[in-house]
Structure 1
Amino acid sequence: MTLTTPRSTATHPLSRLTAEEISTATTIVRDAGLVAESSKFVYVGLEEPHKRDVLTWTPGEPVERRVRVLVLDRATGNGRDLTVSVTGGTVVTDVEIDGAADGQVPILDAEFEAIEPILAADERWVAAMAKRGLDVADVRAVPLSAGSYFPDESGHRIVRVLGFHQADETDLPWAHPVDGVVAYVDVTRGVTTAVHDHYDLPVPAERADLDQATHPHAVRDLKPIEITQPEGPSFTVEDDVVRWAGWEFRVGFDAREGLVLHQLSIDGRSVVHRASIAEMVVPYADPSPVRFWQNYFDVGEYLFARYTNSLELGCDCLGEIHYFDATLADEDGAPRTIRNAVCLHEEDHGVAWKHTDLFNGMAETRRSRRLVISFFTTIGNYDYGFYWYLYTDGTIQLESKATGIVFTSSYRGDEHPYATEIAPGLGAPFHQHLFSARLDMAVDGTGNTVHEVDAVRLPMSDTNPYGNAFARRLTPLTRESEAQRVSDATVGRTWHVVNPSKTNRFGQPVGYALHPQASPVLLADGESSIAQRAAFSTRSLWVTEYDPAERYPAGDFVNQHPGSGGLPSFVAGDAPLEDADVVLWHTFGLTHFPRPEDWPVMPTDYTGFTLKPVGFFDRNPALGLPRSTSSHCASHGS
């Protein structure tokens, strides 16, 4: 039965959702009687068609538009997972979520906002603050995802709360953790289930103002840098499709994953069908009874792209900028626009290639350039930027930038060696930032095979009499059970995604290589709750056969999920992977032992990975770069 007039102006199966489509989808849900007065819309996002249907679609054909909608009834704590046809005007699927077995839907802003009044009404919390000489009205309650630890919390929407003192409106609360006390709150019932006051620790007093009086700092006198392109940018944008220097791709954006790159190709040849940051987890190393549970899945628990920043010219991006607004749904189901959510621009990137020859007098230099597609999001204390770079030599790079404010504690000295003192009496617990990139590969087509490639030392022998030889070992990852790998910098380990049915002029299969950065995977014990819930982060690489339902490496409903969701269940069938439609799930990140230099605001730290062509081209694809014609560069000869 049609419940409302279908509305869609999509010109492509992967077109971003419009405000009209969001309004139509949420109206369909309401008209179907699936929301109550107390219901909130947790997530509204495009239900992307099967990869096969996208690849066979031709312009002008009808576009079926489906939207995934997650709804939470705040009065009962019950969640629903709905699929809505915007073009058909109907609810296609309706699944009630079992909060105990499946996990909870992500946490709402409305739930966070309710925490301080709940705690202010609890005598135990008020008493704990008073014991420390604090008025509860001056303590900012920071609600955080609870994880899965206690059987009596199963099926209930729980958050755990730490306090931070704020002396006045301009004071930065992160400088004043009220450590030693933690509250557990049932957000559905609106009650504090427990207040644990374990330690009476002093509240650090030094403010975090960035002025000279509080934090003396040397002033760096720098003259302005102006980035100009007198003839305009080299890229074009049409209906979210970007074309630049042989590259072509479609920009997507999602409340959960943020920036998504679709159908990434170069010179008309596909490389990646879909690329996104599908999950991240921030596990903390403090085992104290106050903080042992601190493990945040910023994508799956908080839908981190909801907090995307509006970028500003000259601050976040430099040069000739094209901005993309993002249209998401608010918690009442109405569309809202984040202005300038995604920034697109070009950057000079030094020397692309150069040679001055002794014999023929050649002296040639070409400058590299990269296309940058980025967004920034703020999750509580941390700010994360995600920058996709495309290079003129066919390289693809993802760089994650972490900045903002480190999460703080009271510093307890050598008796508690899990934090760094970053200000008098102020600690910053050790932690990791582990991201999962979902790379739906399509290297010159969808029939791909993944090889693990290691450098191999060779012993002295008759064929290696001086011991200088070394070789490489290629190991095909033939099944999902074999394709759960850990990076190894000692052998220069990379993973090559090749197309066995396409060869270059040397008869070799064309390919792209994933180059990881050398960094630890999850450091928590393998039997721990977080290792079960964030199993994706225990490996540097997982390879799976494509399945449109497998979108998130920790599972669909991460919040309070008991564990083993996502990738462990995806690979249970042990599908074959040779000449298959493969998806790479790459874990990368930072292990952060905070420094005094990370306070009061953290200099940007960087992590990421690189995809480089290996035999994909017959020769250097950057040969066609023009000589520089800049007025600041002398050019001689023809």
Structure 2
Amino acid sequence: MDGTDQAQAAQADAGAWHPLDPLRPAEIAAAAEIVRGAHPDVRELRFETIELAEPRKDVVRGFVPGDPIERQARFVAYARGATGVWRGLVSLDQGRVVEETFLADAKPMISPEEFFEIELAVKADPRFQAALARRGVSDQDLVCVDPWSAGNFDVAGEAGRRIAHTFVWMRARAGDNYYAHPIEGLNGVVDIDTGEVLRIDDYYADTAPMAVPMGESNYTADMMDGFKPEPAALDVVQPNGPGFRVTGNLIEWEGFDVRVGFNGREGLVLHRLGYTENGVRRPILYRASLTEMVVPYGAPVRAHHRKNVFDIGEYGLGKLANALELGCDCLGAIHYFDAYVNDITGAPRLIKNAICLHEEDYGIGWKHWDWRTDHAEVRRMRRLVISSISTVGNYEYGSYWYLYQDGIIEFEMKATGIINTVGCEPGKPSRYGTEVSPGVEGQIHQHVFCARLDTELDGPSNRVLECDTVAMQPGPDNPYGNAFYVQERVLARESEARRKVDFDAMRYWKVQATERTNLMGKPTAYKLEATSAVRPYTHPESPSGKRGQFVYNHLWVTPFAVDERYPAGEFMNHSTGDDGLAAWTAQDRPLDGADLVLWHSFGIHHLPRPEDFPVQPCVTCGFKLHPVGFFDRNPMIDLPPKRNAASCCVGE
């Protein structure tokens, strides 16, 4: 079956689809075949990306079920052993490439399949084997080489190449936690395209190497010496089934509706989030996703300065998503969404249960006791949880979107997994970290994320206001010294909308509709509450700082542009920093009343603790979107009163 036949087969049941549905397996395979057919002279064509090319907004907004859908796939492909990439569009209806550009200087992200190729290349290098022998390590099967994106450090011999920089650990025995045994000061540099090991950097080549710490720190159940008493059973039971309804990729729950999407780079994506009130659907977000993250480490010694990975742009959060497990990753009445991404050959790869959907009790939503009548009214709140978890090397990243019955929309990142470890002299960690186990140091670092929020609050025309609380000086208008109020200003242009959190002003930002007002005659709005702002510590002129300029403001606002998708630029691997938010906002485009995109930077500032090892408890960060005059009253006021009959008093 050629690409045209595959495309037609993929479209056979198109009437049941929505334009924003992710590519199906047959579509991914068809797109790859079509692109290969357009490059018959390329011996081995590899694929970084095959994903849905999302239709224009007007097409999506005007879509009626049953309408014909033009399906296009966006691709990034490259020839193994060569530089540059082809970026383009495939028409799955026509079975041909309809747009393509060759980008000679762009370098694709590192694919999961290449992780293994890089490790094997380093382990086979005689220089690496000799360095291990100097450390008394002879069993190659116990050695683990982790590939890291190499950044852009202007190192001789690396320019123009697509390379990986590696760090090394070992297991004490099969199945052992190798991050407990760092082989310090030994790094490999690999040309990913050719497989050539360019260098083996041994920082102890001329001196006695640091001893490999061999104390075991394991976490898998089969290696534990024993367990605490099992906690009392706590089951989540919904005897009548869940409160949500799923139709394809559409979720409906408590007035909200949203479409879930998924791609290899961003992973979980929310499309067309809205709320229906009195029979009228009101749009809130056109698209929301986590579009970039950077993890800069604070140690300048023994090649650790090269650890400043952009996990989304250099690896792909979606490609590294987990297959979630019932009763472990999610509890209760669960609906799973499978996801498909392309592998390096262009074939579709199934990620079973990539997205989890469930409800959670969230305590009381509101309560009041009238002390005069001794009457109390209370309503419990629940939230809808849409989640996905990805493993990027040593770390796990859990992306959680929450919808609440009071209209709040929240994003939470749960970071867990294993901290990146380095060797140290026992009892003598460096100033750049903490000893978490004898001879094992966890280095200070940050996780800085950027969410892209494409708003359509009660329509495509929105404005953003900055809201600061002002304390009045004592005087005639403030005779008692208690006066304070919120002062608002419109962020009218991009130059005005590169903003930082100001806790002294209790600052927040408000997205306002220009086409609708509430009962009080005020524009309907949602506010962005920055709950996890972090101050970056990498210098703006450092390699990491230049490439990740989005971290230097907590809010950026841009008018929507189709090709502005990633805050640090599209091709992050070895990027120079000349693409992304800083470059786009230099145009200083007008914002007031435009179709707006908010970019919010937030994160985690992490000096590891012994309690973070051998596996780190979840550390969280995120942000909230609160309705501010979007509703005319508390949207939970009409929740029916209900007492939970399954609750009981212990001991009675």
- With structure 1 as the length reference, what TM-score do the two structures score? 0.95
Structure 2 residue 251 is matched with structure 1 residue 261: no
Kindly indicate whether the alpha-carbon contact (under 8 Å) linking 2:434 and 2:443 is maintained by their aligned counterparts in 1: yes
Question: Which has the larger displacement, 623-632 or 415-424?
Answer: 623-632
Query: 1 CA distance for matches of 2:220 and 2:152?
Result: 41
2:385 aligns with 372
Q: 1:244 aligns with which of 253, 259, 262?
A: 253
Query: 1 CA distance for matches of 2:617 and 2:246?
Result: 33
The one-letter amino acid paired with 1:83 is L
Kindly indicate whether the alpha-carbon contact (under 8 Å) linking 1:51 and 1:548 is maintained by their aligned counterparts in 2: no
Structure 2 residue 154 is matched with structure 1 residue 150: yes
Q: 1:65 aligns with which of 68, 71, 74?
A: 71
1:93 aligns with 99
1:125 aligns with 128
Regions of 4+ moved over 3 Å? 210-218, 412-415
Q: Structure 1 residues 38 and 459, CA, compared in 2 at 3 Å: closer, same or farther?
A: same
Deviation at 1:22, TM superposition (A): 1.0
Query: 1 CA distance for matches of 2:415 and 2:222?
Result: 27
The one-letter amino acid paired with 1:488 is D
1:208 aligns with 217
The one-letter amino acid paired with 2:183 is V
Q: Structure 1 residues 633 and 190, CA, compared in 2 at 3 Å: closer, same or farther?
A: closer
1:107 aligns with 110
User: Secondary structure of 1:129's match?
Assistant: helix
1:173 aligns with 178
Structure 2 residue 466 is matched with structure 1 residue 452: yes
Q: Which runs of 5+ in 2 are unaligned?
A: none
Identity rate of aligned residues, in percent? Answer: 43
Deviation at 1:3, TM superposition (A): 6.3
Deviation at 1:72, TM superposition (A): 2.1
1:594 aligns with 608
1:4 aligns with 4
Deviation at 1:127, TM superposition (A): 1.9
Deviation at 1:461, TM superposition (A): 0.8
Structure 2 residue 324 is matched with structure 1 residue 315: no
How many residues were matched structurally?
Answer: 630
Deviation at 1:218, TM superposition (A): 7.3
- RMSD over aligned Cα atoms: 1.9
User: Secondary structure of 2:318's match?
Assistant: helix
Kindly indicate whether the alpha-carbon contact (under 8 Å) linking 1:553 and 1:567 is maintained by their aligned counterparts in 2: yes
1:578 aligns with 592
User: Secondary structure of 1:434's match?
Assistant: strand
The one-letter amino acid paired with 1:145 is S
The one-letter amino acid paired with 1:110 is E
The one-letter amino acid paired with 2:197 is T
The one-letter amino acid paired with 2:557 is V
Superposition pairs of residues 323-338 of structure 1, within 5 angstroms: 323-338=336-351
Partner deviation per Cα, 1:502-557 (whole Å, 9 max, x = no partner): 11111111000000114323210111111111111111111000011111111110
Query: 2 CA distance for matches of 1:246 and 1:289?
Result: 55
Kindly indicate whether the alpha-carbon contact (under 8 Å) linking 1:456 and 1:491 is maintained by their aligned counterparts in 2: yes
Partner deviation per Cα, 1:66-116 (whole Å, 9 max, x = no partner): 1111112112243211211111211011111223xxx41111233221223
User: Secondary structure of 1:306's match?
Assistant: coil
Deviation at 1:155, TM superposition (A): 1.9
Deviation at 1:161, TM superposition (A): 1.0
Query: 2 CA distance for matches of 1:361 and 1:210?
Result: 53
The one-letter amino acid paired with 2:569 is G
Structure 2 residue 622 is matched with structure 1 residue 619: no
2:60 aligns with 54
Deviation at 1:213, TM superposition (A): 12
Structure 2 residue 523 is matched with structure 1 residue 506: no
Superposition pairs of residues 126-525 of structure 1, within 5 angstroms: 126-135=129-138, 137=140, 138-150=142-154, 152-199=157-204, 200-210=209-219, 219-267=228-276, 268-412=281-425, 416-525=430-539
2:86 aligns with 80
Deviation at 1:454, TM superposition (A): 1.2
Partner deviation per Cα, 1:184-204 (whole Å, 9 max, x = no partner): 111222222122222422211
Query: 1 CA distance for matches of 2:323 and 2:122?
Result: 32
Query: 2 CA distance for matches of 1:493 and 1:252?
Result: 32
Q: Structure 1 residues 225 and 415, CA, compared in 2 at 3 Å: closer, same or farther?
A: closer
Query: 1 CA distance for matches of 2:447 and 2:219?
Result: 25
Query: 2 CA distance for matches of 1:583 and 1:166?
Result: 46
Q: Which runs of 5+ in 1 are unaligned?
A: none
